[in-house]
Structure 1
């Protein structure tokens, strides 16, 4: 049975490889130059910094028999401008020492709760876990008073687009993140 729950700091080691699934799709140059073990080690540590974008504080997980099989990360759009400030001490570990940010592109639209990352472990895909995580995020954010949820969907990912559209999201713009163009999609909660 799948248990959807808020993440805890101790989930970092299991959460990092799930986060990396999306990083690989995004083709982030600095992370592509690193080994998977090194990327996972950095993000497992950063997961414990509550102010950081990919921390336990902004994460919900899907757990099955003690194993994390899915992850959902999001935050209010107004936090995006400073949500990576807490990652500054980790920048040298990913090869950035010249003052640049790892995530320089702006992704969210004003006034929304932004779903930054949704990933399911390959061995657990096609079982509705992503749908459960997304539905849970919608329920939680509506209860928290958010009116809109937004997300970005890679133009070359029609399966994800179909899932989002099935759940009521509609394209309302385009965003370039690294070398990829994304549909920005929004749903009224």
Structure 2
């Protein structure tokens, strides 16, 4: 599995390109904006984008979706079932305020806790991790966890937005993420990578 991080969008979100090396099938996580370096890498290596996956619907994580849907028309848009309203409503997702352009999205696939998708030989498992938003999800691929804005390195996502809940995000981390193996690498929506084991010992918010 190849994982590449590209900072994108107005708040420099970690947008990930994840590739199954054997089949060259791939997916993109949280395209905050259009990143020409990511597109060049995909095209130069002949990667096939199967899915664009959103951990949640905030504007800083979704701004690049329309551009990538044009670049890769075969890619299906994936999001959590309870995030559908936010994705459709540009006022709710703050896309206008963040980028000056309203973004309204209709996912092709809505996933719930425990659902899986295959990308080549990679199995993706979706974990329902609300708290930062009502319908946030995290994505587990082998020993890599894409946590969106739920869990950061020694921090957690903000819970002062409409629909956010500190109690919910704390429960998501403790009951869904901290039950994963300690060696699981966490790829968050902002800041650097960490591990589940390190966060269990050092995260002051949980």
Of structures 1 and 2, the one scoring higher in RCO (CA 8 A, sep 6+) is 1
| TM-score category of the 2 structures, normalised to the smaller one | 0.3 to 0.5
TM-score normalised to structure 1 length: 0.37
TM-score normalised to structure 2 length: 0.34
Q: Give the number of the structure whose residues are more often helix, by fraction.
A: 1
